[in-house]
Amino acid sequence: MTRFAFTVEFDGRPFMGWQRQAHGPSVQQRLEDAILAVTGERAVIHAAGRTDAGVHGLAMRAHADVAKDIAPFRLMEAINAKLRPDPVAILACEPVAGDWHARFSCIGRAYVYRIANRRAPLTFERGLVWRVIQPLDADAMQEAAQILVGRHDFTTFRSAHCQAQSPVKSLDRLDVARDGDRIAIHAAARSFLHHQVRSMVGCLALVGMGRWTADDLRAALEAKDRAALGLNAPPDGLYFMRADYPPA
């Protein structure tokens, strides 16, 4: 039995999310089906994060145990061939120690959230960015974002369906940068609550529009109450970008 670690890119638009669902396509199901087709084995694939419906992956990390004697490169190529025509691709595949776990060994996660700050309807990127029509002040957003960095009770920014035991998380980074009509928001932490990034982005957008001040954001955080949330950004712009692990 060999444990293989995978780096997975996926377009979340056609999926109900990463995790296998009874009533619709998921990235997990597609990957497990592809592994079955290649190896004849019903492997279970574990991921660093379980993204929601419509959320994308640039480099999700995942692992599965495979009994078949197959080289990593051949396994990757064969899975990719079976994944067609779904918009899921294995970018890298390597054998790892038997106790390496994509989710439990992960010590850092990074997301990027992409906004198209423009009036015109989207063409190439429908479902791949959040279009915000109102002009956003990215500098004000970046300044306000620093209020959220650090160790806080993020109850305000947590979905009612969140299964985490504690709402207290340490946010290592929340950076807002504009490039033309694009705004990218980079978030990094050991782990995130359910909807945390989208909820933070939604409230930062209110700051960018001038509808919220930085003090309003601070008050929302301190309220520790989901009802204090200003806006939950749509899944369209959210990408799981990186998972970090201790050196082997």
Annotated binding site for substrate: 111
Report how far residue 181's alpha carbon sits from residue 210's, in angstroms, rounded to the nearest whole number: 17
User: Quick check: 183 and 115 in contact, CB under 8 A?
Assistant: yes
List of residues 6+ apart from 22 with CB closer than 8 A: none
45-53, 85-93, 148-156, 157-165 -> range binding a copy of itself (CB under 8 A): 85-93
Nearer to a copy of itself, 121 or 247 (CB): 121
Report how far residue 238's alpha carbon sits from residue 223's, in angstroms, rounded to the nearest whole number: 25
Show the DSSP H helices in the chain as ranges. Answer: 27-39, 72-83, 138-148, 196-209, 214-223
Start-to-end CA span in the chain (Å): 19
Clarify whether 52 is annotated catalytic.
Answer: yes
Contacts with a copy of itself, 126-155, as mask; x by CB under 8 A: x-x---------------------------
User: Quick check: 240 and 17 in contact, CB under 8 A?
Assistant: no
Q: Does 121 bind a copy of itself (CB under 8 A)?
A: yes
Nearer to a copy of itself, 9 or 172 (CB): 9
Q: Does 179 bind a copy of itself (CB under 8 A)?
A: no
Q: Does 180 bind a copy of itself (CB under 8 A)?
A: no
Q: Does 72 bind a copy of itself (CB under 8 A)?
A: no
Nearer to a copy of itself, 49 or 57 (CB): 57
Q: Considering only residues 89, 96, 184, 209, which one is a binding residue for a copy of itself as defined by CB under 8 A?
A: 89
